[in-house]
Amino acid sequence: MSKTVLILPGDGIGPEIVAEAKKVLDAINTSGSLGIEFSHGKLGGASIDEYGVPLSDETLALARASDAILLGAVGGPKWDQLDAAIRPEKGLLKIRSELELFANLRPAILYPQLAEASTLKPEVVSGLDILIVRELTGGIYFGQPRGIRTLENGERQGYNTYVYAEHEIERIGRNAFEMARKRGKKVCSVDKANVLEATVLWREVMDRLSAEYPDVELSHMYVDNAAMQLVRAPKQFDVIVTGNMFGDILSDAAAMLTGSIGMLPSASLDKNGCGMYEPCHGSAPDIAGQGIANPLATILSVAMMLRYSLDMSEAAEQIEEAVSKVLDQGLRTADIYTDGMKKVSTSEMGDAVVAAL
């Protein structure tokens, strides 16, 4: 049966990088006779401009009917003044929660060719291969009650709720243990159990699950220490599992270890393996429309999509090898450029990956 992929370019550099990823996907779809079919929709600011909402019912229906979704990024200054309820990011949060995409996989791999592009010393980061498993549909980003209220004394107060139910912790924990089994067999669970009760429960559930995975070593770390360890000695980690907010922050820090956030793909999966694939970075309005954005994170997201949702691992490997080949050729977008390399545009990078396939 053929597979359907929904394409959501989004805002800012989104359309530019998704165009390159689609070029690569089209090439491999044709050469490998993969039979992937496509649908197209809008998300974020682009959807607000057309439908008045960041995620329309039509796009949500297309998403539900797809095996996988390829997303660029959403948001930008044009929509920053809108009411929080209809801002572009709400569309992203809604599609994640409607489709129950609770497991966000963010690999941070340093390509040896880019060791010099990292701000950390090459010996600290070379060979780095971490997988951050971030819970994506719960925690403080979704907890109720939330809002800004006026107190009796007239002062305004902002408030949010950090909440996790046992089943939410358990399913993301299982995901991390299963992933670790296929890698270095180590899980580090990151929490703030010295201060937050919600994460005391998190730690308890991780300990309980650990008994079912005796071949995987479980450790615990407070999030402040984890942030420090990520820049001090990142290679100590294999799989890091954590809640929504801590995962958001730590994965961006991990991104920089690899030279540029423009290199990092991500997958957000439901319990059946259907998923949304997007680069870890945002819509980069500061460079949108200039043709200089790095499309490799989005291209590598396509590889993750082929592997995790479409069951086409061979095609995934071909794309990853092609990316490695263009880096070997010395091709670099501005964000990963170092002296002596050849600076290329967004579309030149996409063309080079297609040629290397």
Which residues here bind ligand NAD, judged by CB under 6 A? Answer: 13, 17, 73-76, 89, 92, 261-262, 278, 281-287, 293-294, 297, 335
CB atoms within 10 A of CB 77: 11
Burial class (CB in 10 A: 0-12, 13-18, 19+), 226: buried
- Radius of gyration of the chain from its Cα atoms, rounded to whole angstroms: 20
Examine the residue annotation and report whether 248 is marked as an active-site residue of this protein: yes
Nearer to ligand NAD, 138 or 173 (CB): 138
Could you say which of 22, 42, 90, 192 is catalytic?
192
- Minimum gap (Å) between residue 75 Cβ and ligand NAD: 3
- Minimum gap (Å) between residue 91 Cβ and ligand NAD: 9
SS3 label, residue 289: coil
Neighbouring residues of 217: CB distance < 8 A, sequence distance ≥ 6:
185, 186, 187
- Minimum gap (Å) between residue 294 Cβ and ligand NAD: 4
Q: Report the C-alpha gap between 195 and 199 in whole angstroms.
A: 8
Query: Under a CB-based contact definition with an 8 Å cutoff, are residues 297 and 91 in contact?
Result: no
Could you say which of 22, 42, 67, 141 is catalytic?
141
Examine the residue annotation and report whether 337 is marked as an active-site residue of this protein: no
Nearer to ligand NAD, 73 or 306 (CB): 73
SS3 label, residue 217: strand
Q: Looking at beta carbons, which residue is closest to ligand NAD?
A: 282
- Minimum gap (Å) between residue 22 Cβ and ligand NAD: 15
Could you say which of 252, 270, 325, 351 is catalytic?
252
> What is the helix (H) or strand (E) element at residue 132, kind and residue range?
strand 129-135
Nearer to ligand NAD, 88 or 234 (CB): 88
Examine the residue annotation and report whether 83 is marked as an active-site residue of this protein: no
List, by residue number, the catalytic residues.
141, 192, 224, 248, 252
